[in-house]
A = this chain, B = another copy of it.
């Protein structure tokens, strides 16, 4: 059997065909079109992938879609996707009618989590959480090899768990969310603040406010006290959120994705230490590992394909 995975982003729709082991048989992409046209884009891309593989359609189990926005997985509907100009579009049904294959859909963060769980850093575990450190803090939860999405797929909003009541303002309207401390956005903000506080710092000498990124503090942490402090600050809050997730879900592994996760062991080693120290009941009985995600931008399409794996 072959499995088609489609990752719908704001600018590009990526497609992949894999077998059950995750071996890639074809890969392709199309520019994103907004509104209802997205179903046409997905269907055309899927058909192109099928011809590239060159096998009869009956050998394809179906099409899995990971899409930005609020998704009703059970009904196959994109409930809301601001950057795709979509409000209540039955994408699964529309694509199914065009391609005549079963279609499943989930949100892009969940798809990436399933991808990492099946083929990436989580492939040796049945229970894993992907935490993506990007513009926001997103991610997904895999329990017993299956995505956990909550009622009407509205759960798994792990970035919107308050870890410091009354703290920094979050885009969701609450204060003190995990995302307001552990996103790349929060890290950049803190880095700029630290630069302004310490005009003698190497960061301040070398960067301008405009070219600060989520890497800046890490780049200077070995030579600059202010940069080191920013990294320590960031790691402490990130660890706090990860321990919360570990205590509540107790997965076997937490995987870090998104831009900041590129720091690898500079993040995972101190995070693992803090997590081991604070994990409820200690680490002897049911430890939780912290790892870097391995699939990068392909995680979403791979996980989308895995939506069709069944039990």
Known: A174-B278, A280-B160. A150 touches B249 (CB 8 A): yes
Q: Are A244 and B148 in contact (CB under 8 A)?
A: no
Query: Is A156's CB within 8 Å of the partner chain B?
Result: yes
Distance in angstroms between the alpha carbons of A163 and B252 in the assembled complex: 23
Q: Are A172 and B280 in contact (CB under 8 A)?
A: yes
Distance in angstroms between the alpha carbons of A70 and B278 in the assembled complex: 17
Q: Are A244 and B280 in contact (CB under 8 A)?
A: no
Contact for A251 among B127, B151, B173, CB less than 8 A: B151
What's the tally of chain A residues with a CB closer than 8 Å to chain B? 44
The A220-264 residues at the B interface (CB cut-off 8 A) are: 237, 240, 243-245, 247-252
Q: Are A248 and B152 in contact (CB under 8 A)?
A: no
Contact with B along A141-177 (1 / 0, CB 8 A): 0010000111110111110111111110000111010
By a CB distance below 8 angstroms, the chain B residues around A172 are 280
A-B contact pairs, 8 of them (CB 8 A): A151-B288, A154-B280, A154-B281, A158-B247, A161-B161, A172-B280, A174-B278, A248-B248
Distance in angstroms between the alpha carbons of A126 and B74 in the assembled complex: 14
